[in-house]
Amino acid sequence: MKKILLLSSVVALLSGCAGSGNGELIGGTDRLVWNPTDPYGMAFIPQGSFVMGPSDQDVPFANVSTNQRVSVGAFYMDITEITNNEYRQFERWVVDSMIRTEMKLFQHRRGDTIKSNNVVNGDTLRKIDWDVRLNKNSDEYKDLYDSMFVKTYVDGQPIKEENNIIYRYEELDVRALSKSNRLDEETIDKMNATTYRDNFVIERAVKIYPSTLDYQSDYAYANNETDATFNYEHVAHDDYPVVGITWEQANAFCHWRTHIMNSYLRSNNEPLLPDFRLPTETEWEYAARGGYGMSPYPWGGPYTRNMKGCFLANFKPLRGNYVADGGLKAIKVKQYNPNNYGLYDMAGNVAEWTSTVYDETSTSYSHDMNSDNSYISEESDQDVLKRKVVRGGSWKDISYFIQTSTRTYEYDDVSTSYIGFRCVMDFLGRDKKDFQ
């Protein structure tokens, strides 16, 4: 009997070592097979190296950029700017979640930190279950929507209270202690690990509705009332790039896009993806060039017309003949040919936010691998610290500003009628061929 028990123990021990590689180092054997697929609406940008900076004469003698060879890792980029209709998905999701919260239909909440007293900034947190389906045709929904998001009615039509549409989220900012709230070593030593990590968690509340009045405020003594009224909401402009978006709103959109993507993957037990984010200035220029290292424009040539005399982008040609290129202001995306990476409107139409802080001397100290200089400014910061790089030029700019290397900026809390954005995502690896 003892022999039988001993034999059974040996068999059990050997069974427990199954997959151990007979003592060899073979790695975990229960890992999923993963093959990357391009996110919908994005193009794969291969890793590479290029000379970043002016490819042509510095027309205004701005002296804000010098040449620097930079290497860039592989990433994905949206093939067009984010459109009105795509941004509207974000807006409606926020409105829907706010109404669900108010109606107390939920079992648990994501996106807000629940403090010990269940109160944040004086507001009691309610619980959310994003899987609950809400009947938007019910009178209860309509009455609640009106009370939360409608300011008044004009001729029976609701006037939306845009400032009430707020996206609340948290993010881990590893550079959170690099500015005025930096802690000294003695203070850090007295903290436990959890308390210290909390200093990197930033709570944000962003009013996400686009500024629809920018067409009027940007251009005095000009008739732009129709654009201010219809540019964002009307179905005719669904495929136009969204404008009236601050840098902060663009970042909020990226956070939400990451949330809905990874929530879906998590629910299907699939590996998660890196965050959607704004491109760095380096990534933007590298992608805009489309492999043409020394060309001033994304299409590869030094001219803004093709052989037939047609303009190749939507900008301000011929000393102010806005319509000569086919557009008066911003137009639908994909109206001009893409560059070699399959990206549309990397020159003209609307300019685009990047994640990079604008510094005239940045090329003198930036790293030559994935170079970047990014931080999130605080409201109390001086204006010079709120400048973010804007690239690509727009429908209102002359040809110099739609060149791939031209740098300009806007303040991160300012929106305009000519700045939009597109997202990028890091590629997990060297090349897609590695997974084939």
The beta-carbon contacts of 33-36 under 8 Å, at least 24 apart in sequence, are: 34/271, 34/435, 35/435, 35/436, 36/427, 36/428, 36/429, 36/432, 36/435
Pairing of strands 276-277, 351-357: unpaired
pLDDT of residue 308: 93
pLDDT for position 188:
56
Contact, 420 vs 402, CB < 8 A? no
Cα gap 353→31, rounded to integer Å: 38
108 by DSSP, 3-state: which? Answer: coil
* DSSP state string for 358-410: P-TTGGGTS-SBS--------TTS-GGGGEEEEES--TTS-GGGGSTT--EEE
Asked if 260 and 111 touch (Cβ cutoff 8 Å), the reply is: no
Measured CA to CA in angstroms, residue 166 lies from 238, 281, 435 at distances of 22, 28, 40
Handedness of CA 36, 41, 44, 45 (dihedral sign): negative
Is 3.90.1580.10 the CATH number for 46-81+222-436?
A: yes
Under 8 Å between Cβ of 199 and 215: no
Which residue positions in the chain have pLDDT lower than 50?
2-3, 5-16, 106-133, 177-181
Global pTM? 0.85
33 to 152, 174, 425: CA distances (angstroms): 55, 31, 21
Q: Give dist(CA 46, CA 53) in Å, integer.
A: 20
Residue 105 neighbours by CB distance under 10 Å: 15
Give the helix ranges, DSSP H, for 155-209. 185-190, 193-198
Rg, C-alpha atoms of the chain: 26
Domain assignments of the chain as residue spans, ordered by start: 46-81+222-436
What angle in degrees, to the nearest 10, is found between the helix axes of 139-149 and 84-102? Answer: 110
Half-sphere exposure in the Cβ direction for 76 (13 Å, CA): 21
pLDDT of residue 196: 60
User: Residue 139: its pLDDT value, please?
Assistant: 63
Contact status, residue 330 vs residue 416, Cβ threshold 8 Å: no
> Residue with structure tokens 């290292």?
293
Identify the pLDDT of residue 314: 97
Taking each helix axis from N to C end, the angle separating 84-102 and 247-267, rounded to the nearest 10 degrees, works out to 70
Tens-place pLDDT, residues 83-97: 999 999 999 999 888
CB distance 424 to 396 below 8 Å: no
Cα separation, 25 vs 30, whole angstroms? 14
| Closest C-alpha among 78, 71, 70, 46 to residue 431 | 46
Strand intervals (E) in 6-162? 42-45, 48-52, 68-72, 75-78, 119-120, 123-124, 150-154, 157-160
The CA distance from 259 to 36, in Å, is 19
Alpha-carbon distance values, 312 to 124, 239, 318, 436 (Å): 54, 19, 14, 36
| Chain centroid to CA 396 | 23
